[in-house]
Amino acid sequence: MAREHIEFVNIHEMEWQPIELPGFTGEISQKLLSTDTDNGASTSLIYISAGSTCERASYNASIEALLLEGEAKIGKKTLSNMTHVFIQKDVELKALTFEKACTLLWMTDGRLELTDGNNSSDNQEVVIKKTSDVAWQGTITPGFPTGAMRKSLFQDPVTGASSWLLGVLPQFRDERYEIHPVMEEAFQIHGEMGTSRGDFKQGSYFWRPAEIPHGDFSTEWGCLTFFRTDGPLKTTYVNKEDL
């Protein structure tokens, strides 16, 4: 079955479950946020103990990760808090070491199985972005109120699937509801956003299928949110009375 509509769950109310990640050593635990039971695609929070390694591995599915806490290295590159990593299917992940225990938001587009890595085209590498090196830019939705900016982290050139951070200033408010033609999922990294479904607090997560109206929005002290869609983001605004 495709993923369920989940709105909201909070990592602080979930238990860690021990798991194994193919190719990784060390102790690894997971809080599973959502999964597609057909193809095994999933979003989870994972904890990887200090000293864990992944010497060399490639996978049959793409992996996107956001390091929320800890420190790791891929070769000579250091991954610290708020580093975004994209590992394309079949691209070799090598010389990964966890210098400190790490907590990551971990997203795969299929059930992870090791491959021999021979299917990747040349020059493809793991893409590592420290989010502080990515410039803030204006929001891309026409009519989005002032008081928020985004950092674009990933866009699939074929499907338009995207990932970004949205930073919202304190005292932001938008009373409209919005509807997207694409799935939207989000994890609250910092702060809180009030909505008609309740408060989207730090550690909260949702997986929302396309065409579900959502709103309104207000935040007292601002927030930083990680978003993903499975296609190009388009937004239609609706008034609450018209729903």
Per CB under 5 A, residues contacting Fe ion are 178
Task: Decide whether 99 or 230 has the Cβ nearer to Fe ion.
Answer: 230
Q: How far apart are CB 46 and Fe ion at their closest, in Å?
A: 25
Distances in Å between the alpha carbon of 65 and those of 1, 144, 218?
A: 24, 27, 28
Q: How far apart are CB 154 and Fe ion at their closest, in Å?
A: 18
Q: How far apart are CB 213 and Fe ion at their closest, in Å?
A: 9
Task: Decide whether 64 or 178 has the Cβ nearer to Fe ion.
Answer: 178
Q: How far apart are CB 28 and Fe ion at their closest, in Å?
A: 32
Q: Which of 141, 128, 15 is nearest to 79 (CA)?
A: 128
Task: Decide whether 130 or 201 has the Cβ nearer to Fe ion.
Answer: 201
Query: Residue with structure tokens 């990964």?
Result: 96
Q: How far apart are CB 217 and Fe ion at their closest, in Å?
A: 9
Cα 129 versus chain centre, distance? 14
Task: Decide whether 117 or 213 has the Cβ nearer to Fe ion.
Answer: 213
Q: CA 177, 109, 232 angle in degrees (round to 5)?
A: 40
Task: Decide whether 1 or 243 has the Cβ nearer to Fe ion.
Answer: 243
Contacts of 36 (CB under 8 A, 6+ apart): 1, 2, 3, 42
